[in-house]
Amino acid sequence: MARALTQLELLQELAPVAEDNVNRHLKHARNWNPHDYIPWDEGQNFAALGGSDYDPEQSQLDEVAKAAMITNLLTEDNLPSYHRVIADNFSMDSAWGHWVGRWTAEENRHGIVMRDYLVVTRGVDPVALEEARMIHMTNGYDPVLVAADRMEDLQNEYGDLDEVGLLHSVAYVTFQELATRVSHRNTGKACNDPIADRMLQRIAADENLHMVFYRNICGAGMDLSPDQTLRAVTDIVTNFQMPGMGMPNFRRHGVLMAKHGIYDLRQHYEEVVMPVLRKWNVFERTDFGPEGEKTREELAAFLEQLDKDATRFEEMRDRALAREAAKREKQAS
């Protein structure tokens, strides 16, 4: 069996790929200004400056849109945690370091523009939003360690987690960036406001470019060390959690978002996981060794069950929505 590469070896071998993809990103990325997406003329002072504080009646967002906007914004707010993880695993040298800085700066715009929109339009309670931000950022988040907590044999298999940091990190952010893109786009539609929709489409476009960078790095890792990279991908796919996990009201908001098509299990399977795996030709490759083949079988079994779980969820959701519709019709008659 081929020897697993160390973190340093992976960084060195993949450095040219990182440089090529930084250059690709800079060529395709569009610079934009958060203030251009905010309806400033709708703003007014709060009580501390002689105005009035938030009243729920002021919001034009329904409960689904509120839940999605809060979840997406608090996710973006936790950028310092993500920066730390990426910087620790990528290093701050050469193209790796340039990407860490550029990615962090671009991601920061997302939180800026979403918060400005919600505060100016009084879309959600700004005091509750700030309290939730403080809690979520204080707790922090490490997607690799969260996944590792659910992998009972990871330490025994790999030893020091630092040795698997790069591949697990790029695998995670590949799926996470694409998942966030889906969530932002659907949230924009749910807001029923062309300004919010335009803003979130802009953010989603950024997330897609970020996903391409990480997907290409992970794909190069698959070519360089197939078994090792597939193990990291499988660890992440089979234990995937969105980065908002642990924020206040995450479960309740997640249920609302899934129930109303913002982000659900079917979207996760069909729009996030499978397109990426197809891009890497995971199930067509012929370069896996015995361990890689075993891992691929594990991944295939998981995906088969995920597809079944998504179908079961859709059936349950359709029944629940039908019951609610019937109840509303009965009350209206």
What is the CATH classification number for the domain harbouring 57? 1.10.620.20
18 phi and psi angles, rounded to 5 deg: -60, -45
- Asked whether residue 299 is assigned to any structural domain, the reply reads yes
Distance CA 189, CA 187 (A): 5
Residue at 87 is within a domain: yes
pTM score, two decimals?
A: 0.90
Is 268 within any annotated ligand binding site? no
Inside any domain, residue 2: no
Amino acid at 330: K
Number of domains the chain contains: 1
Contact 221, 173 (CB under 8 A): no
d(CA 103, CA 97): 10
Q: pLDDT by residue (tens digit) across 170-198?
A: 999 999 999 999 999 999 999 999 999 99
Of 78, 103, 276, the closest CA to residue 174 belongs to: 276
In a domain, 189, yes or no: yes
Do the annotations mark residue 293 as ligand-binding? no
Range of the domain at 63: 7-332
pLDDT number for residue 146: 52
For residue 210, say whether it is annotated as part of any ligand binding site. Answer: yes
Q: Is residue 106 a known part of a binding site?
A: no
Instruction: Report DSSP letters for 256-291, one per residue.
Output: HHHHTTSS-HHHIIIIIIHHHHHHTTTTT-----HH
For residue 271, say whether it is annotated as part of any ligand binding site. no
Lookup: tokens for 58: 């002021």
pLDDT in tens, 273-302: 999 999 999 999 999 999 999 999 999 999
Report the alpha-carbon angle 84-17-77, nearest 5.
Answer: 25
For residue 313, being part of any structural domain is answered with yes
The answer to whether residue 76 is domain-embedded is yes
Question: Is the model's pLDDT at 153 over the cut of 80?
Answer: no
Structure tokens at 310: 């998504």
Helix axes 165-190 and 7-28, enclosed angle (nearest 10): 30
Q: Would you say residue 210 lies in a domain?
A: yes
Contact 118, 69 (CB under 8 A): yes
pLDDT at 234 over 80: yes
Taking residues 211-220, report their average pLDDT: 98
Question: Residue 121: inside a domain, yes or no?
Answer: yes
Residue 184, annotated ligand binder? no
